Structure 1
Amino acid sequence: MKAFIALVHRELLEHRGPFLVAPLVLVVLMVGATLLSFAFGRVDARFSGAIFAIVPTRIYEVGFLAFAMAWCLYLIGSLFFYCADGFAADRRNNAMLFWKSMPVSDFKVLMAKLTATLTLFPGLIFGVALLSALLLFAIAIVTSAINGGDGFGLLGNVAWVYVQIALSLLVTLVVGLLWYLPFIAQVGALGVVAGRWAIPLSGLLPLLVAIIEWVTLGGLSPVHTYTWRYLSERVDFKVTQGYIEHWFTTEAPFSAAAFATDLVARVDWLQIGIGAGFALAVIYLASEYRRRVNDA
């Protein structure tokens, strides 16, 4: 267990740039740009304060939701490039020789990378997302108070909104990572075999399978095959449909419990189970390839 924890910790040390340093820099730039926009009159502080005073909770809810979606997109992109690069990093920096000298199997090394992908890195982005929302909420409250609004009197309502959206973001990350697990594992396995070429290969292979189905079984085009339709539905994670789509048309406060219940009910858990099995299979095959290539 200690060796496995050390492997996960190594991933943090080697890849903290895109998952910790860069997000924190983005938060500093975002907050700095917001403060400068008020300081130099690019944003009308009186108008902003009035808006926050009129519909404070709805502004906070929509704003936090927008930031949450932005950080989710950042996480997806970062994980994609990490899996394509990080799963093959040992071969480039000769760290593989060190870990091969320890009683750690190739499968355990790759599982440590997958564990970091599903827990450590999303956790860092989740923490940064909470920090960014907290800082921007503080700016909004101060702006409202300066311009005659009851900014500080809204702290209780704002805190409740903050908790609701934060819990919803956590549920989205957990369910979303489980939903995209087979794609994450596929890119990581391709990274073991082809290194950074995993980036184009991860898109080329599904297209190749669809073309083969189209050629052998017929159809209008590769995009009208079962493979293409299945992958299109599998890639689409309908997080903004259901509860959120309905909530936008009402004046009701955002409810994390209602959101989580709706999302969990709409997710195809059978597909998640199949995806988890596929992920374990491709990681095992990649570890066997890695072991045989290293021993050769």
Structure 2
Amino acid sequence: MKTMKWLLRREFWEHKGAFLWTPVAVAAAMILLVGGGFLYAMTISAPENIQFNGHNVVQINGVPPALRYKVAHIAASGYMGLAAPVFMVLAVVAFFYCLSALHDDRKDRSILFWKSLPLSDRDTVLSKVITAVCVVPLITIAIGTAAALVMLLLGLVGTASKGMNLFAPVLMEPNLYLSPLYLLAFLPVYILWALPTVGWLLLVSSWARSKVFLWAVGTPLVVALLLKWFNVLVGHVSNNVINVDWFWSEVVARGLAGLVPGIWFSQDHIAVMNQQEGIDPAGLLGMSYGTLATPGVWIAALVGVGMLYAAMRMRRWRDEG
């Protein structure tokens, strides 16, 4: 246990810039542009009117209590959506971290030093998996939550400056406090959906001598294009063609985009997030865990575990530069 803790600390300190300062920089830019832009818009806009639902124009000073509480509910339920760019950074950071995790120490020959220590290849690979699917998401959730709260506060200050004080109704909304907990509850679903991508990237990272990105991304894309070309040739003489659409969605997309948060949401699920009543975090959480009822999720996760095992075996002997 102490060894794994030490390995996780090593990963954090070696990649502190990507894990911590990159999302912090994105969050700061969002606060400056989105929050500052909203405050600026409120200062130069007409002081008496707001528009709601695209067509109903009401007097700010005369907003009925029911409407004020509805606006507060939408704000408290959906404020975490303001931090969406931060969570997109999570996918990019984790993707390139996995690509380089087992390749860089072979490239600079530092693998010889690490293998001289009493550290197993299993623990080394597992520490990188835990870093990619647990440590980086937890750091991102903390930064994203802080950024979303700051932007929500700026929004409340801006509306209050126009005469509509939403502080009390927003603070009374349970979703204001539960939203960060909902994000943490999404983590097990995220891990299962990310395992195929993490397994594939670490396997390529442990095997490729150079051009890791081209091997990891180019291989499935080239295979998909070859299957498409095969269908074009065979389709003229036979109806037995390969389901390339399935290969794109279940192999290419799942293998390369599994680290994107919310990749498991379908178009029907996205429609739920666009309701006029605001985002339903509990409903989205239920839909997310509902995807685990499909066997494809577990099969893909097992394939990811198999690729991780192969990466462990590969690291045992592929230590050349």
Give TM class, smaller chain. 0.7 to 0.9
Cα pair 2:291 2:297 within 8 Å, conserved: no
1:213 Cα offset (Å): 5.0
1:288 Cα offset (Å): 2.1
Unmatched 5+ stretches in structure 2: 52-59, 255-262
Instruction: Determine which structure has the larger helix proportion and give its number.
Output: 1
Distance verdict in 2 for CA 1:94–1:149, change over 3 Å: same
Among 63, 82, 86, the alignment partner of 1:71 is 86
Give me the whole-angstrom Cα distance separating, in 1, the residues matched to 2:202 and 2:46: 49
- For residues 67-108 of structure 1, the C-alpha deviation after alignment (integer angstroms, 9 at most, x for no partner) is 33x333221121111111122222234432332122212222
2:283 aligned with 1:280: no
Cα pair 1:143 1:151 within 8 Å, conserved: no
Structure-2 residue corresponding to 1:131 = 146
2:249 aligned with 1:232: yes
1:35 Cα offset (Å): 5.6
Secondary structure in 2 matching 1:150 = coil
Distance verdict in 2 for CA 1:190–1:166, change over 3 Å: same
Structure-2 residue corresponding to 1:26 = 26
2:274 aligned with 1:248: yes
- For residues 45-64 of structure 1, the C-alpha deviation after alignment (integer angstroms, 9 at most, x for no partner) is 65699569752332454453
For 1:201, give the aligned amino acid. Answer: W
1:163 Cα offset (Å): 3.3
Secondary structure in 2 matching 1:180 = helix
| Backbone CA RMSD of aligned residues | 3.3
Structure-1 residue corresponding to 2:167 = 152
1:195 Cα offset (Å): 5.5
1:174 Cα offset (Å): 3.2
Give me the whole-angstrom Cα distance separating, in 2, the residues matched to 1:33 and 1:250: 25
- For residues 212-252 of structure 1, the C-alpha deviation after alignment (integer angstroms, 9 at most, x for no partner) is 6567786559xx7335513414536342544551353353x
1:294 Cα offset (Å): 2.9
Give me the whole-angstrom Cα distance separating, in 2, the residues matched to 1:122 and 1:249: 27
Structure-2 residue corresponding to 1:176 = 190
Distance verdict in 2 for CA 1:245–1:186, change over 3 Å: same
1:266 Cα offset (Å): 3.3
Give me the whole-angstrom Cα distance separating, in 2, the residues matched to 1:130 and 1:284: 35
1:133 Cα offset (Å): 0.6
Give me the whole-angstrom Cα distance separating, in 2, the residues matched to 1:204 and 1:143: 48
Secondary structure in 2 matching 1:179 = helix
The within-5 A match list for 1:211-222 is: 213=227, 219-220=234-235
TM value normalised by structure 1 = 0.82
For 1:280, give the aligned amino acid. Answer: V
Secondary structure in 1 matching 2:164 = coil
The within-5 A match list for 1:15-94 is: 15-34=15-34, 36-37=36-37, 41-44=40-43, 50=50, 54=68, 55-68=71-84, 70-94=85-109
Give me the whole-angstrom Cα distance separating, in 1, the residues matched to 2:89 and 2:13: 20
2:216 aligned with 1:202: yes
Give me the whole-angstrom Cα distance separating, in 2, the residues matched to 1:36 and 1:216: 54
Q: Which moved more, 1:148-157 or 1:229-238?
A: 229-238
- For residues 110-138 of structure 1, the C-alpha deviation after alignment (integer angstroms, 9 at most, x for no partner) is 11111111110111111111111111111
For 1:57, give the aligned amino acid. Answer: H
Cα pair 1:141 1:152 within 8 Å, conserved: yes
Cα pair 1:168 1:259 within 8 Å, conserved: no
Which of the two has higher C-alpha Rg?
2
Give me the whole-angstrom Cα distance separating, in 2, the residues matched to 1:249 and 1:280: 38
Structure-1 residue corresponding to 2:8 = 8
